[in-house]
Structure 1
């Protein structure tokens, strides 16, 4: 065996030791990557049904919002109709009712004035 053979043998042994030392961290890194892959698969497996449920819930909420929108639109129309009806009633009956009230007030004042005049005349004559 020559010096070159010994040097080659030492180099080969050093390479084997280096590979042995690097093999363990590489194997552990592989296990870590396998665990990460399994965790990501678990998250994606549980996320897909959750997203489907959220989509269904949002769709149902939108349906309810459309119903509420219809209800509020109808309530606004009822309010508008009631306002128009009140205005129509005031225009149709308001003026004649005011005239009748003014007339009856005037008649009452005239009757009360006449009674007061008779009482005053009766007091002076007595």
Structure 2
């Protein structure tokens, strides 16, 4: 055997090893792709019930929000009615009640001042000047 033939045999053996390593890598890559395909299929199968559950939940939340909107509309109407009622009360009874309370306060203060003996010497009485008219 000549040196060229030995080199060709070594090159052929190296090529066979290279093909063998490439085949092993391709087989492992094929298994990985199969596992990925199975995982994607399972994820797809499990997302359908999850999405249906999410859709039901969103529908329920929307129903509750509509109820809350109704409640807030009713509360707004009640607060408007209370405001109108307080305005009516203030207009019809508020003024006379305030006047009555002020009159009552004034009379009470005057009676107390009179009982203490300040009726002639109170703040609002006229003082006589020295040497002046009376």
Could you tell me the TM-score, scaled by structure 1's length? 0.66
The one of 32, 36, 40 equivalent to 1:43 is: 36
2: CA distance between counterparts of 1:104 and 1:85? 26
Q: Which consecutive unaligned segments of at least 5 residues does structure 2 have?
A: 121-134
Q: CA deviation at 1:115?
A: 5.2
Q: In the TM superposition, what is the alpha-carbon distance from 1:31 to its structure 2 partner?
A: 1.8
Aligned equivalent of 2:46: 53
More helix by share: 1
Q: What stretches of structure 1 move > 3 A for 4+ residues in a row? A: 13-16, 18-21, 111-125
- With CA pairs under 8 Å and 6+ residues apart, which has the higher RCO, 1 or 2? 2
| TM norm structure 2 | 0.63
Q: Which ranges of structure 1 fall in alignment gaps of 5 or more residues?
A: 1-8
User: 1:88 is matched with which residue?
Assistant: 81
Alpha-carbon RMSD across the aligned residues, in angstroms, is 3.4
**Alignment correspondent of 2:97:** 104
